[in-house]
Amino acid sequence: MKKIGLSLMTAILGGAIAVGAYKMVETKNTDASTFEDRQKVYFASNHIAPLVSSAGTVDFTQAAAAVTPAVVYIRTTYSSQGGGGQDQMEQMFGDMFGMHHRQQGPQKASGSGVIISTDGYIVTNNHVVEKADKIEITTNDHRQFSAKVIGTDPNTDLALIKISATNLPVVKFGNSDDARVGEWVLAVGNPFNLASTVTAGIVSAKGRSVGIIGRGDDDDDQTNPFSSPNLDRSRAQTPVLNKGIESFIQTDAVINPGNSGGALVNTKGELIGINSAILSHTGSYEGYGFAIPINLAKKVLNDIEKFGKVKRGFVGVQFVELNSDEAERLNIKTTNGLYVNELVPNGGAQQAGVRKGDIITKVDGTTIFESSDLQEKVGRLQPGDKVKLTVLRNGEEQNFAVTLKADNSAALVTNVKSKSAEEIYNNLGASFAPLSSEQKQKYNMKSGVLVTQVRPGRMFDQLGIEEGSVITSINKVPVNSPDALDKAISNVKDGILIIAGVSPDGGAFTNRYKMDK
């Protein structure tokens, strides 16, 4: 009997330890502050060992098997009147950013996404979900979900969306800085509506800036970098203030329409980039694909989840990327670096002592050859962080410690509308963050959510609800967190939303919005 009792106690104790360990892992996963932290807990708790590089044997089966389950198919619907973000992209770049299907009435497009957390967060391209009225996700095991937009960053062409699901497979983050030219990589996505397609190639180049993000119709250089090989890079004046951040990983792995937002992974099955664009005469594969480095994407995605938008620091300079032609025009001998032709008043660079006419040659000791060398480095940092700029002035190098200033420009893009909670959430055209204790005290309120991003042309923009406003209730249901918005917008009757809150100047408002059927 004693032996039986001892065995029973041992079993109970073992079970308690197992449950306790599980709860500790579960708590760690909940408390982890970044997507990368959560992934470490996920892979450690599931005892998933890193894959050994197969470059020597050129066997990609393990990497493909590890990644494919976590790459999703994204299908978007656009109203016929709205035109959709991809119509604009199609006009500019020849329908190369997603599969766009022309038809009468609502239009549809498709792309790819990568699951980065077990609870349903997915990274994709901003242009994949931009101005979509409805976002539908199909996972590799053929389950279907509606997705809501958590936030977007047009400056990097990234978007964070979410589905209501648990225990999802995840693609492990790699280190894009460690990627080497000539290294084997895989592109995983859904080109031409062909689900779960894997292609192989190599890293062809790093730090590519091809002039696609932040281009407008009024740009001086109308050369289309995605339909013509004659990109005039000497004319690319790039302020680190407003233009997009480009430091692409270039690959010759086959990327086609529909691959946008998919995964670029190394032979260990680690995510090193988010496929974003191709350079082509025809709109299909010609050997030049471009992916956003994951080290840049991680900062953007963590900011969107935590703050509702990207908190970006700025050097406060406008510059010209030097080459022999620019050096001759400016009458200078140096052909490498960034020529400072404008300073933002009271910006970080001006306050640190940088002058117009200086040539930025290094950032934190790393030599600058292209604008992307500076942009990506700065793009990973927060306002208040410092960078060391080395500049050439009167033939001598000088070092300046620049404190990055906050971005004061309005964030842009993405939306949606329709009947489900996810669609209504997207149709709000805004991103949200919890109220801090200071903000609660300022507005003398116990609950509410802060509007951190208002997207042009959508509901909040139409109602005149500004960034910095606080939403206290929707349809008389109090909201005290971004997640509580789901419950509130599920209480819609007769297609009418009643939105109550406080504007940035402290004035209370109540707005009614009639949604289209």
Question: Annotated catalytic sites, by residue?
Answer: 127, 157, 260
Q: Give the CB-side neighbour count of residue 506, counting CA atoms within 13 A.
A: 4
Judge whether 200 and 252 are in contact, CB under 8 Å. no
| Contact status, residue 126 vs residue 158, Cβ threshold 8 Å | yes
Which residues, in sequence order, are bridge partners of residue 149? 161
For residue 507, the one-letter residue type is: G
- Run of H or E residues at 489: helix 484-489
Comparing CA positions, the residue from 244, 255, 300, 248 lying closest to residue 272 is 248
In angstroms, how far is the first alpha carbon of the chain from the final one? 72
371 alpha-carbon distance from chain centroid: 20
Q: Which residues pair with 197 in a beta bridge?
A: 189
Residue 364, both tokens: 């934190």
401-420 burial: b if 16+ Cβ within 10 Å, else e: ebbbbebeeebbbbbbbbee
| Sign of torsion over alpha carbons 274, 148, 305, 499 | positive
Q: What is the torsional sign of CA 349, 352, 355, 358? A: negative
